[in-house]
């Protein structure tokens, strides 16, 4: 839960007075135009360095985690899928997944098969990957983390239709296997809504949440666009 | 000219070279290494293990200082002996192979090795013999002084082998190591050469290597410096004939006030010859690394990939990649970069649930990992162990 949270990146306050709550069995889609601050919000939630909470509180499982560093929040069960993961020189996809699976007890090949990245296992992490491949390996790392609450940034941007389907299937499974069966997904095109149905949709614009409602809000966005909705 | 006359000529050239400094690296006063140092050679098995040498290997050459030698080959088709025994057993061949790829008068170190060196291995892998298990060599310095072995490896037509050499020294022994290595890779043969160095904070190291790869032969070299050293300079030169290929990787970790100047040079003489030179430098404390790479080509393809990782605010890394095309038929490229571990990569891994130290270890492992295709499983395992060690020592 976010209680009147304002977030600064560097000197600049990017998000103001954000109130947001996600409950059990809730799949929240966070929509908004480019530059609205959606990714910033997810990064602030996970505690990414450089994202300063200037006011307000973040609670997870009833505990105030506002001051906790990223590693502590991840240890509590929050996990973040990046929009574009960095390239990791010389680090093979398999090595990274193996390291994650050693921590969280999982099967690298099962995960890789599920998300269709078996052919990428011996490749250098992120090097020369297509948009779809980047998203797939990112979701694969999330699956290997077994999070309580996945925070997923733009799983559908720059991705071909086949990949979206595979990614959506994996995210659904991830949600089903998580203890709260919840997730926050950031999307500006909402393409993934064809495959995953949200239970709650919030629109983030100009650094603040404009409106939250049920899944029908996506249709409104498709019909009128963000500007008109605002 | 017989062997005796040839070795006399070698001696003359060496005497001319005795006062010639190397164009690269720190100049070392060799006067104190001209006299034989007395003492009893002792093997430190723990140090030998550190450089990955398996003393129970089927084929092994071991040398301690310039006094103790042991060698054995239990693999059919692999011949191994001390270089002096090679010269005595096969004088005609010795004349053809000794001091042909390394000039004894090149600099004071080759000269010193030619005049005062003892031992070194002769390894021959006979025609068509393919050996998966590494042929092990251990060069250990226990009392310090000079150790200048002369190594010759011949991989005959269609044969395939890996030579694994670990060189190390007792702590605080003041030593100068000048290994002369001449490798001959014949038509369609493959030689993989792994060399692991682990010296001490007072030692000087000047290996001198020449490699000749005949038509369609392959030479794969993997060099690692794992530990402290005072000064180290080496610049192997590989000559490639038609369709020959070489992969030359150097992973260099430096500590304290070490001055390390390491490189590889390749001459692409033949049609369709190709080479990849890869270097990874990791500088700690106040150390200095110069990473050189040079390709001279009449034809064929060559690529240089030099990367440096600064692990300290007071260290220095310099990369010097050189490409020289002698005709329009050569295609040569290089990429080079130096920096620190990227903060966003560390944060990315922390966001995946790794502690900072684990994240750094993963990135360091990635940095030192170079992709060598077609290695036998056993050699892969050795290299993985070396990579793990390098990461541990980098942190």
Calculate what percentage of chain B has a pLDDT beyond 90: 86
* A-chain residues near B342 (CB < 8 A): 86
Q: What is the pLDDT of residue B331?
A: 96
Lowest mean pLDDT among A195-209, B15-29, B221-235: A195-209
Structurally, chain B folds into a number of domains equal to: 2
> By residue range, what is the domain housing residue B236?
3-341
B69-119: pLDDT as tens digits = 999 999 999 999 999 999 999 999 999 999 999 999 999 999 999 999 999
User: Are the Cβ atoms of A85 and B348 closer than 8 angstroms?
Assistant: yes
B133 and B145 assigned to the same domain = yes
B185-225: pLDDT as tens digits = 999 999 999 999 999 999 999 999 999 999 999 999 999 99
B320-367: pLDDT as tens digits = 999 999 999 999 999 999 999 999 999 999 999 999 999 999 999 999
What is the separation, in whole angstroms, between the first and last Cα of chain A? 24
B292 and B353 assigned to the same domain = no
| Residues B247 and B273: beta-carbon distance below 8 Å | no
A14-38: pLDDT as tens digits = 888 888 889 999 999 999 888 888 9
B18 and B110 assigned to the same domain = yes
Q: Under 8 Å CB-to-CB from A117, ≥6 apart: which residues? A: A93, A133, A136, A137, A140
User: Are the Cβ atoms of A74 and B345 closer than 8 angstroms?
Assistant: no
Q: Please state, rounded to an integer, the average pLDDT across all residues of chain A.
A: 90
User: Are the Cβ atoms of A86 and B344 closer than 8 angstroms?
Assistant: yes
* B-chain residues near A104 (CB < 8 A): 353
Radius of gyration of chain A (CA): 17
Q: Is A128 on the interface with B (CB under 8 A)?
A: no
Backbone angles phi, psi at A177, to 5 degrees: -85, -15
Q: What is the pLDDT of residue B73?
A: 95
Res. A230: pLDDT tops 70: no
User: Are the Cβ atoms of A80 and B351 closer than 8 angstroms?
Assistant: yes
Structurally, chain A folds into a number of domains equal to: 1
| Residues B198 and B51: beta-carbon distance below 8 Å | yes
* A-chain residues near B363 (CB < 8 A): 88-89, 91
Q: Under 8 Å CB-to-CB from B73, ≥6 apart: which residues? A: B58, B59, B79, B80, B135
Label residue A151 by pLDDT band (50, 70, 90). very high
Single out the residue of A148, A137, A161 nearest to residue A88, CA to CA: A137
Q: Taking the C-alpha atoms of B84, B85, B86 and B91 in order, what is their torsion angle to the nearest 10 degrees?
A: 80
Nearest CA in chain A to B355: A71
Q: Write the DSSP assignment of B118-144 as a string of letters.
A: ---EEEEE-TT-B--SPEEEEEEESS-
Among residues B341, B362, B382, the one where a domain terminates is B341
B334 and B384 assigned to the same domain = no
Name the strand (E) or helix (H) holding B288: strand B288-297
Q: Please state, rounded to an integer, the average pLDDT across all residues of chain B.
A: 95
Determine the average pLDDT of the residues in B153-166: 97
**B330-339 and B316-325 beta bridge pairing:** unpaired
A51: domain CATH number is 3.40.50.300
Minimal C-alpha gap between A45 and chain B (Å): 11
Write down the ipTM of this complex: 0.94
> By residue range, what is the domain housing residue A103?
2-229
Label residue B279 by pLDDT band (50, 70, 90). very high
Print burial letters for A23-35: b (CB count within 10 Å at least 16), e (below 16): eeebbbbbbbeee
Q: What is the pLDDT of residue A64?
A: 92
Q: Out of B343, B347, B366, whose CB is closest to A88?
A: B366
Nearest CA in chain A to B344: A86
B178 and B319 assigned to the same domain = yes
Minimal C-alpha gap between A92 and chain B (Å): 8
B363 and B264 assigned to the same domain = no
Q: Is A88 on the interface with B (CB under 8 A)?
A: yes
B154 and B25 assigned to the same domain = yes
A residues 24..83 contacting B (CB < 8 A): 46, 48-49, 70-71, 74-75, 79-80, 82
Q: What is the pLDDT of residue A190?
A: 82
Which residue, among B342, B348, B351, would best test binding to A if mutated, counting the most A CBs under 10 Å from its CB?
B351
Q: What is the pLDDT of residue A33?
A: 86
Q: Out of A71, A80, A85, whose CB is closest to B355?
A: A71
* A-chain residues near B306 (CB < 8 A): none
Q: How many CB pairs under 8 A join A and B?
A: 67
A197-208: pLDDT as tens digits = 999 999 998 888
Q: Write the DSSP assignment of A36-63 as a string of letters.
A: SSHHHHHHHHHT-TTEEEEEEEEEETTE
Among residues B298, B326, B341, the one where a domain terminates is B341
Res. B26: pLDDT tops 90: yes
Nearest CA in chain A to B371: A90
A88-136: pLDDT as tens digits = 999 999 999 999 999 999 999 999 999 989 999 999 999 999 888 999 9
A182-196: pLDDT as tens digits = 999 998 888 888 899
Which residue, among B308, B342, B352, would best test binding to A if mutated, counting the most A CBs under 10 Å from its CB?
B352
B288 and B391 assigned to the same domain = no
Minimal C-alpha gap between B363 and chain A (Å): 7
B389 and B367 assigned to the same domain = yes
User: Are the Cβ atoms of A70 and B351 closer than 8 angstroms?
Assistant: yes
* A-chain residues near B366 (CB < 8 A): 88-91, 95, 124-125
Q: Cα(A228)–Cα(A125) distance, rounded to whole angstroms? A: 41
Q: Is A130 on the interface with B (CB under 8 A)?
A: no
Q: Is B368 on the interface with A (CB under 8 A)?
A: yes
Determine the average pLDDT of the residues in A39-52: 92
Q: Is A145 on the interface with B (CB under 8 A)?
A: yes
Q: Is A90 on the interface with B (CB under 8 A)?
A: yes
B142 and B263 assigned to the same domain = yes
Nearest CA in chain B to A144: B352
Q: Under 8 Å CB-to-CB from B257, ≥6 apart: which residues? A: B230, B285, B286, B287
């Amino acid at each position: 839960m976010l209680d009147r949270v304002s977030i600064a990146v560097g000197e600049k306050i990017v998000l103001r007075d954000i109130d947001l709550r996600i409950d059990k069995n809730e799949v929240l889609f966070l929509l908004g135009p480019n530059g609205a601050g959606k990714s910033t919000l997810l990064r602030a939630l996970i505690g990414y360095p450089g994202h300063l909470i200037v006011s307000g509180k973040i609670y997870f499982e009833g505990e105030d985690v506002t001051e906790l560093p990223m590693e502590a929040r991840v240890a509590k069960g929050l996990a973040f899928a990046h929009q574009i993961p960095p390239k990791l020189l010389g680090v093979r996809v398999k090595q990274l997944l193996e390291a994650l699976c050693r921590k969280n007890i999982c099967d690298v090949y099962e995960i890789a098969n599920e998300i269709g990245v078996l052919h990428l296992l011996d490749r250098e992490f992120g090097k020369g990957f297509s948009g779809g491949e980047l998203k797939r390996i990112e979701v694969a790392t999330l699956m290997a983390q077994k999070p309580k609450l996945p925070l997923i940034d733009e799983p559908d941007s720059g991705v071909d239709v086949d990949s979206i389907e595979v990614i959506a299937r994996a995210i659904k499974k991830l949600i089903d296997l998580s203890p709260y069966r919840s997730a926050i997904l950031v999307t500006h095109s909402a393409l993934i809504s064809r495959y995953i149905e949200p239970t709650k949709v919030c629109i983030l614009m100009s650094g603040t949440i404009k409106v939250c409602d049920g899944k029908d809000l996506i249709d409104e966005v498709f019909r009128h666009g963000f500007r008109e909705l605002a | 000219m017989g062997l005796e006359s040839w070795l006399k000529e070698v001696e003359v050239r060496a005497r001319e070279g005795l006062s010639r400094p190397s164009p690269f690296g720190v100049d070392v006063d060799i006067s104190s290494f001209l006299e034989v140092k007395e003492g009893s050679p002792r093997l430190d098995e723990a140090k030998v293990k550190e450089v990955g040498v398996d003393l129970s290997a089927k084929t092994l050459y071991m040398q301690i200082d310039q006094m103790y030698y042991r060698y054995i080959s239990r693999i059919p088709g692999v011949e191994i002996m001390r270089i002096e025994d090679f010269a005595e057993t096969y004088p005609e061949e010795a004349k053809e192979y000794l001091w042909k790829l390394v000039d004894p008068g090149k600099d004071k170190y080759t000269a010193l090795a030619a005049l005062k060196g003892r031992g070194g291995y002769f390894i021959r892998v006979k025609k068509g013999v393919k050996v998966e298990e590494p042929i092990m060599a251990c060069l250990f310095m226990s009392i310090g002084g000079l150790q200048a072995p002369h190594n010759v490896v011949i991989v005959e037509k269609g044969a395939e082998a890996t030579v694994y050499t670990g060189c190390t020294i007792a702590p605080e022994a003041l030593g100068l190591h000048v290994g002369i290595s001449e490798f001959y890779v014949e038509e369609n043969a493959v030689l993989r050469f792994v060399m692991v160095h682990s010296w001490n904070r007072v030692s000087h190291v000047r290996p001198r290597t020449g490699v000749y790869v005949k038509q369609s032969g392959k030479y794969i070299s993997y060099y690692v410096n794992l530990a402290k050293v005072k000064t180290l300079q080496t610049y192997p030169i590989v000559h490639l004939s038609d369709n020959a290929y070489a992969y030359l990787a150097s992973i260099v970790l430096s500590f304290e006030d070490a001055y390390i100047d390491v490189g590889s040079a390749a001459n692409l003489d033949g049609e369709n010859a190709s080479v990849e030179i890869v270097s990874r430098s990791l500088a700690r404390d106040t150390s200095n690394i110069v990473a050189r790479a040079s390709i001279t080509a009449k034809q064929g393809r060559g690529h240089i990939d030099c990367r440096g990782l600064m692990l300290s605010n007071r260290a220095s890394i310099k990369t010097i990649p050189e490409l020289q095309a002698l005709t329009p038929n050569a295609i040569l490229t290089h990429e080079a970069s130096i920096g620190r571990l990227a903060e966003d990569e560390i944060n990315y891994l922390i966001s995946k649930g790794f502690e900072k130290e684990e994240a750094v270890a993963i990135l360091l492992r990635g940095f030192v990992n170079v992709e060598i295709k077609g290695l036998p499983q056993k050699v892969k395992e050795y290299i993985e162990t070396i990579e793990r060690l390098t990461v541990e020592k980098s942190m």
